[in-house]
Amino acid sequence: MTGTHLNKSARGFTLIEIAVAVVVIALLLGSILVPLATQVEQRQISDTQKILDNIKEALVGFALTNGYLPCPDKTSGSSTPPNDVPNDGNEDFSAAGTCIAAEGGNVPWATLGVGNTDAWGNRFRYRVDTDFARRSPATTFTLTTGAGLRVCTTAACTVSLTSSTSGNGAAAVILSHGKNGLGAINSLTNSTNPAPTSADELENTDGNATFVSRVATPTGAAAGEFDDIVSWLSKYTLFNRMVAAGKLP
């Protein structure tokens, strides 16, 4: 009897018991990994926002030094050095003193000496009101120069985050196309990623003067997918910094 009792006690785990243990372990790991993934994503968003803030400060510093904002680095087309080369990080401008990529392109990271990609390896998009990027022999901007870039909460622009008064918009807009990277220029291939599918993300890629900045929403959301991170430079912020530095009027 004693031997029989010992054999039953030492028989080990059944397949059912092992399966239950595996399920419990999987649940525990899942509860740990999901918050970790969320933390990583939040860190990527935070890091990208910091780079955008640095870029905006660099834009102001460039204007204080030169009297105008830099032109975008164009993303395609022929290459004619030194001021007309796509995806090299340098601003592209013509002999007439105007921007070659008038409807926007990459942030000219080499010209500004800032980070060249967001946390997901894509270029930052940059659009400048062309009146603020003119340089000799063109006429540079003054305190009476109007800015026409708009930032809204939707593509329909029912609510504007910049002044809706004509000429009082943003002087420049910079943005990351977020984790999904749709519509962005890939920093490794210098090619354009697949286009966005939502109206609000498409608005940030269509080359016009209106941009969207709003709370992120996932695929399938009623408002459509959106994870772009958008920042802008008010013309009045720029004027204030330049007047304080004695660069204007």
Per the confidence metrics, is the pTM higher than 0.75? yes
pLDDT for the residue 12: 63
| Residue spans of the chain under pLDDT 70 | 1-13, 29-34, 164
pLDDT for the residue 6: 47
pLDDT for the residue 71: 98
Q: For residue 143, which phi and psi values (nearest 5 degrees)?
A: -65, -10
Token output for 84: 């007309």
Strand, helix or coil at 186?
Answer: strand
Q: How far apart are the first and last CA of the chain?
A: 104
The whole-angstrom separation of Cα 129 and Cα 163 is: 14
Residue type at 9? S
Of 33, 38, 36, 32, give the one whose Cα is nearest residue 179.
38
Reported as type and span, the H/E element at residue 222 is none
Contact 116, 55 (CB under 8 A): no
Span 18-76, pLDDT tens digits: 777 788 777 776 666 667 777 889 999 999 999 999 999 999 999 999 999 999 999 99
